[in-house]
Amino acid sequence: MKLEGSYEVKAPREKVWNAFLDPVTLQKAIPGCEKLELVGSDEYKATLKIGVAAVKGTFEGKVRLLDKKPPESYRLSAEGSGGPGFVRSDTVITLTEIDGGTRVAYSADVQIGGLIAGVGQRMLGGVSKMMADQFFNRMGELLTTA
């Protein structure tokens, strides 16, 4: 499944870059994130509680930051598994300066398997978009109040 989008954040690009690499800020912004801890250089262990339709569960996995070009772009590689199945994603995140802030664009390739994959592509796409909206809206709030 391919997911793409962009959001405008009313904060300078350097501040946005730092927030997107800060585990404390990320944990506050990621929907359902219960734990996000640094386990190595640019590698995190994550625990998320997520529900899609009648399929709910806890996912545990790793997140790695790769190909960092501060403050322009990086690649986020994530994989996790839990009772409802597994999720793997490879996402390129690009930050561009705009009037009044920063445009954050993402392009992700997502693979989903197991029970959660049975929910259906259209519903998963809608839920993924909703979670991305929640994340970027929360990140915007955290950046403008910080």
| 94: exposed, middle or buried (Cβ count in 10 Å: 0-12, 13-18, 19+) | middle
Q: Which residues on neighbouring strands pair with residue 61, listed in sequence order?
A: 46, 80
Spatial CB neighbours of 13, under 8 Å, sequence gap ≥ 6: 71, 95, 96, 97, 102
Residue 10 DSSP class: S
**For position 74, what pLDDT does the model report?**
96
Q: How far apart (Å, rounded) are the C-alpha atoms in residues 146 and 143? A: 5
Per-residue pLDDT of 62-116, as tens digits, reads: 999 999 999 999 999 999 999 888 989 999 999 999 999 999 999 999 898 988 8
Range in 9-13, 122-126, 130-134 with the lowest mean pLDDT:
122-126
**For position 63, what pLDDT does the model report?**
93
Please answer whether residues 6 and 102 qualify as being in contact, where contact means their C-beta atoms are separated by less than 8 angstroms: no
**Domain 2-145 grouped into CATH 3.30.530.20:** yes
**For position 146, what pLDDT does the model report?**
59
Residue 92 DSSP class: E
Banded model confidence at residue 50, pLDDT cuts 50, 70, 90: confident
**For position 35, what pLDDT does the model report?**
95
Would the pTM of this model clear 0.85, i.e. be above it? yes
